[in-house]
Amino acid sequence: FKNWIVKYKSGSTWKSYNSTNNPITITINKPHVLTAVFVTEPGKSSLTVVARMHCGYIMYGIKVSYRVNSGKWKTGKTSFTISNLKKGDKVELKLAESFPFEWCKIIYRSEDFYGFSWSDYGKTGELGNNPTITVDWEGDKKVYAVFKQKGAPSELGDFKLTLTVYVKDYDTNEPIERAKVVLSSPAMDSNPDTVDPDPFIEYTDSQGKVVFRVGKVPITVEASKDNYESTNDPNKPSKWSGTISKDTTITLYLRRKKTYTLTVYVKDYTFDKPIEGAKVVLNNEVTKYTDSEGKVKFEGLKGGEWLYVKASKEGYEDTSDPSKPSSWRGKIDSDTTITLYLKGKLKLTIKAIHTDYVFTGGSIPGLPIKVNEKLFYTDRRGKVSLSVGPGTYTIEVLEKNITSSGYQKYVFYKWGDGNKRNPRTFTINEDTTITVYALHVCKVVITADQSLTTNPSVGTHWYPRLYPLKVSASPSDKFGHWEVKPEFGNSYTSTDNPLDLTHQVGEYRGIIMGYDVYAKAKPEVELIITVKYLDYRENVVSTVQNKRVEVDGTTYKTDSSGRISISVSVGEHEIYIPEEYRVKEDGVYWQKYYFAKWSDNNKQNPRTFSITDDTEIVVYVWRECKVVIGSDPELTVSPRGEHWYKYKYSLSISASPDSKFDYWSIAEHPGSKKTSTNNPLSLTITRGYEVYAHAKQQPSEHTLTIYTKWLDYRGNVRGIVPYKDVYIDGKRYETDRNGVLRVKVEKGKHTIEVLSPEYYSDWERDEFAEWSDGNKDNPRTITIDKDTTLTAYLWREHKVVITSDPELDINPGGAKWYKYDQTISIKASPNDKFDYWTITPKPTGNSWRSRDNPLSLTIDKGYQIHAHAKQEPEKVSLTVTVKYLDYRGRVVSIVRGKKVLIDGTEYKTDSSGRVSVTVNAGSHTIEIPEEYRVWEDGKYWQKYYFAKWSDGSKNNPRSFNINDDTELIVYVWRKCRVVIGGAPELTVSPSETKWYKYKYPLSIKASPNDKFAFWSITEHPGTSRTSTQNPLSLTITRGYEVYAHAKQQSPPPPPPGDATYKLRVYCYYLDYRGKVISTIWGKSVVIDGKTYATNRYGYVEVKVSKGYHTIEIPKQTHWRGYQQYEFAKWSDGSTSNPRRVYVNKDTTLKAYCWRYCKVIITAEPPLKTSPSDTRWYKWNYPLSIKASPSDKFERWVVTPEVGNAFTSTRNPLWLRVKMGYNVKAEAKDEVELTVTVKYLDYRGRVISTVWGMPVKIDG
């Protein structure tokens, strides 16, 4: 036992303290939670097995079997602890109950068990039903067997106990009918689809009775009803809590109220919002004033008496609207609430004006504007007119889509006084007109291949209409072309860089619609460069890892296979293999690689290659190793000095005279040290070498032995120092692995020095302390006249770097060296801002944290120590990616523009299907709402709705704990509407309107087959076409209208033996200049009195007998009566229609039709237009419409047959006629102008009016 943690509730919050008292005594006068803390023996672990319901309610007594490390199975009842575990142990778990089983009078079945989980809450079972858990913790850890919290209507039969509740009148003891009885329990849940325990609600019958099915678990039952109140009598309670173990009946009581309360709300007639400070008078006697909720209460009123209530306030007047009255008269016999309304006397007018990059002027109808959170729309004059009372009003101008695609919209620009705050609060004390300017903007979505950068940058941008926008891509050598999809018109490609997206509008040039613009890079291919090294005979040895290679000036390094693999654009590229040194030891490089040749024996370096396909280039380099050769003065060695030899070269080194030669000392780089007595010495060069020839020693020499040892901060010897540099008479030696150096020296004086300080890393060094004879000089001079032994003692020191966040001061701080085993104390101040230390061992080791302040640390290695200040709530990045599934549940792609609700705020996914926001670390609720798309012909044709999260959860909305930068993936179903019908003679299956999931393989059959002719298919969005396939197969990727056509009565077949030929008739349409534009789908063609329709390729093909046949191209109206086709001529110039042709072979005819579009032109008085009325114009005709008189003209309202309406103030109006239009000329508002003429006397005083005086107005 260590201590208790005592949590208690104080008001609405929880507080806690620790206590080491055992036993502990506490006073229970508020809710408490006590936790006993036990310290686990270091290195030991335990696993506590708990059973719970999905809301977190603990279930005691559930049997769970376990075994450790494949040992014997044991069984425990929850909650129990598996002790004496250690890291690496494997614990297997399984439920030991047999389904179905009973717990606390509740039946549990196999589908009620979710599995085992680490989580103490929620429908989790991520560990499975029979997990094997590897112990990787110290101390105790809990694992949960998770069960469903039952109580859905279909599950009530699994509760074995019956609780009968009667509700009676407190005074009369009579049963109360329709009383509400709420049963709540932490172990029962009326809606198991959520993870909270929802209550059960029933209403009493005529006997005042309700019946609940329950288990042997804690429950609370409470009764209530309108006009009744709780009894507050423990002998006749209105509420009961407890646990039952058998069928039980309880009685609850309610007391009928004696007097009643009339609650009056006063609201604003326009905004339906409460009015504070309104005067409310009851029966012309009692006066009260409304609170901030617009509410007053009149209490203690007797039932059955007449009451009269009147509301008023300065600046307001009666509504004169019986549906929203300002007064009320009536009787009450229960607590009653009424609402009265007052209408403001002031007039508030908000006027919306259009502006773009060039023009300002013209009103905006239909612009959404919120006034005090209530939504209004400007009328056709661009105005919102409201009746308001005096006070403050918050006005917010919202966005308005101009086109259905969402690529053009109005956004707030500024108020009439230049202020740009939106929303904005205004104080209204008189009739007021407020002007707002809304900016017409166009959306441009820019994307690019990864290798390209665009200006403006990749992303979604909004630009004012007529903004002179150009988009550039770089680097230009990688740029290929643009793919441009305008909001209106066909997609196209362009190689212009920069790309000009502007159009000429009068004297100005700028963007007039939205665009999707994609910068495509030139095609790229894979370039692989493999570097191999040669030996001295030019044989390939192996590849070179980590070798630098420069491609077009950029440096890359080969991987573990000796290759670099990069993507390059098709074209010429320069490759350079630089010389490179390797293996640095003692400040010297011992190996190098340098260019030898390319695989085609070319020796040009750098070299330019033309890369047109995936290519691998092999380059060979020499690998050379440095050999440094020296000797004692008595010897001559050959070769001598520093040399570079190619890899595997066989080197022979001789020392002479042989009589004085003793041995070679050989140091490998990298590698070990060794000696050899072979003379000459043979080496195969595979690394660097230091070779030294030693002469035999003369008898006059003595042995100098030097030991190197290191000390802790107290001066105690803690170990030897191997391979320590020692200089004797200026020559470098090195102690062996035991820290010993033995050298033959001549009799006399010698200078000895231990290298100090000597660094083993950035974090560890040895610093000279003293010699064993107490001498502290280094270097020092000694006289040798016999074998001599000295020990050099060195301080072992480690570097400690101490830093802190800016908010803290630390002492000591910075980088300092401390002796081994020295204890240091570090303090951070001020203490109230200090959070914790991060201690990182150096050069290696695992970091840990400490909250001790000051921090005490014993130095046994280097340390990086940082003091952290307490942080503000951490901001993290939350990304939600929305992807849609096909009918099999497979991911198809992302969803752009999809609504996502995060904590109630709506966002929309960008062009990559993501919503990225910055949130505080913590819990956040995310909801994916259902959403309809593709509005055509008055209905939606596609929709998206939630399917699941990437972890399989189907909760929506769902709460997530976001503590780090997080990406969540959600999958939605994409469904498309299919409308299926057919001719009366046919039966179609399936039929009517149904929604199908994306890519669903739909088969539609029409029967009987002998009466079936063809299908007409209209795609939404898309084109129309026909098919004779039956059954018809469709892969659902959009909305469809499908109609089965029956065969028409056919003429009798030609007599036997008569030949038949193919007669094909094409139909094309022309523009107003007679230029052929395209074929016509669905055009009627009459052949010998029978009507056919052209297919999607624009032709009709029939089989006819030899002889004369009559062909007619009838006039035909399309597109809701706004377009029509009228015969113009045949391809041979003939204008006969119908036409008689003679067929004696397969024949093809071409018919040309005028395509007309209907334009309906109207005008408000007193305007007139030229042209006017309803007219038909040939396709692509440049139409100009003028309204007069121009001084009374305000604007045009143009409604195309497809798409959103728009306005224009240009007069005349210019249209390129490619569809039907309704065009209306609107006049300026007219007001009454009165001119009164009065005459004056000589003193300038008014005498009277003048009758018959001429007055000129506008001439």
Q: Over 70: is that where the pLDDT of 471 sits?
A: yes
Please say if the pLDDT value at position 1234 is more than 90: no
Q: pLDDT value at position 1051?
A: 44
pLDDT at 264: 96
Radius of gyration of the CA atoms of the chain, in A: 47
| Residue 440 contacts residue 482 (beta carbons within 8 Å) | no
What domains appear along the chain, each with residue ranges and CATH number? 40-147 (2.60.40.10), 153-256 (2.60.40.10), 260-344 (2.60.40.1120), 395-521 (no CATH), 701-796 (2.60.40.10), 798-869 (no CATH), 876-977 (2.60.40.1120)
Query: What are the angstrom distances between the C-alpha of 147 and each of 108, 187, 956?
Result: 8, 11, 21
Reduced to 3 states (helix: H, G, I; strand: E, B; else coil), residue 831 is helix
pLDDT on residue 1026: 82
**Mean local confidence (pLDDT), 1050-1079:** 77
Quote the tokens at residue 94: 């399984």
Q: Which of 770, 757, 775 is nearest to 817 (CA)?
A: 757
**Average of per-residue pLDDT across 365-394:** 93
Confidence of residue 16 (pLDDT cuts 50, 70, 90): confident
| Confidence at 352, pLDDT banded by 50, 70, 90 | very high
Distance CA 543, CA 531 (A): 6
Report pLDDT for 1252.
Answer: 87
Is residue 394 within 8 A of residue 425, CB to CB? The reply is yes
What confidence score (pLDDT) does residue 1119 get?
A: 58
Tokens at 509, concatenated:
């040039």
Cα distances (angstroms) measured from residue 1176 to each of 1123, 1183, 1184: 8, 11, 14
Show the tokens assigned to 980.
């299926």
Cβ contacts of 640-644, under 8 Å, gap ≥ 24? 644/592
Query: Which amino acid is it at 208?
Result: G
Output the pLDDT for position 1053: 46
In angstroms, rounded to a whole number, what is the distance separating the alpha carbons of residues 591 and 871? 51
Rounded average pLDDT over 118-126:
90
- Bigger pLDDT: 285 or 211? 211
Q: What percentage of the chain exceeds 90 in pLDDT?
A: 67
25 in Cβ contact with 10 (< 8 Å) = no
- Across the range 641-646, mean pLDDT stands at 95
The CA-atom distances, in angstroms, between 824 and each of 325, 532, 767, 839, 853 are: 82, 53, 19, 13, 12
40: pLDDT strictly greater than 70: no
- What would the mean pLDDT of 551-574 be, rounded to a whole number? 91
Confidence of residue 1128 (pLDDT cuts 50, 70, 90): very high
Q: What is the pTM of this model?
A: 0.35
What pLDDT score was predicted for residue 98? 93
**Number of Cβ atoms within 10 Å of the Cβ of 862:** 23
Match 């072309």 to its residue by tokens.
481
Please give the pLDDT value at position 1057. Answer: 44
If you average pLDDT over residues 931-953, what whole number do you get? Answer: 88
3-state secondary structure of 297: strand
* pLDDT number for residue 615: 93
Residue 501's contacts (CB-CB under 8 Å, 6 or more residues apart) are 444, 469, 470, 471, 484, 511, 515, 517
Return the structure tokens found at 105.
């009078």
Report the distance separating Cα 1224 and Cα 891, nearest Å: 48
- Pull the structure tokens for residue 518: 């994609």
Q: What is the pLDDT of residues 963-976, one digit of tens each?
A: 888 999 999 999 99
pLDDT at 700: 63
pLDDT band at 1050 (very low <50, low <70, confident <90, very high): very low
Q: Give the Cα separation of 815 and 636 in Å (integer).
A: 50
Of 117-121, 270-274, 441-445, the range with the highest mean pLDDT is 441-445
Q: Which residues contact 87 (CB under 8 A, 6 or more apart)?
A: 43, 45, 135, 136, 137, 138
Residues β-bridged to residue 528: 565, 616
Model confidence pLDDT, tens digit, residues 765-776: 999 999 999 999
Each residue's pLDDT tens digit, 721-772: 998 899 999 899 999 988 999 999 888 899 999 988 888 888 999 999 999 9
Can you tell me the distance from the alpha carbon of 92 to that of 71, in angstroms, rounded to the nearest whole number? 10
Q: Whole-angstrom Cα distance, residue 1150 to residue 1100? A: 11
Query: pLDDT tens digits, residue range 662-718?
Result: 999 999 999 899 999 999 999 999 999 999 999 987 656 789 999 999 999 999 999
The mean pLDDT value of the chain amounts to 91
The per-residue pLDDT for 964 is 83
On the question of pLDDT at 1185 being above 50, the answer is yes
Alpha helices for 303-358 (secondary structure H): none
How many Å apart are CA 1152 and CA 1131, to the nearest integer?
Answer: 7
Both structure tokens of 734: 């090195």
**Cα dihedral sign for 276, 279, 281, 286?**
positive
pLDDT for 922 equals 85
Band of pLDDT at residue 576, cut at 50, 70 and 90: very high
Phi-psi region of 132 (alpha: psi -120 to 50; beta: other; left: phi over 0): beta
Q: How many residues in total does the chain contain?
A: 1259
Q: Are 250 and 218 in contact (CB under 8 A)?
A: no
Contact 605, 577 (CB under 8 A): yes
- Other CB atoms within 10 A of residue 720 CB: 16
Whether 139 shows a pLDDT value over 90: the answer reads no
Average pLDDT over residues 1161-1179: 92
Confidence category of residue 1056, pLDDT binned at 50, 70, 90: very low
In angstroms, the CA 252 to CA 996 distance is 53
pLDDT band of residue 1055 (cuts 50, 70, 90) is very low
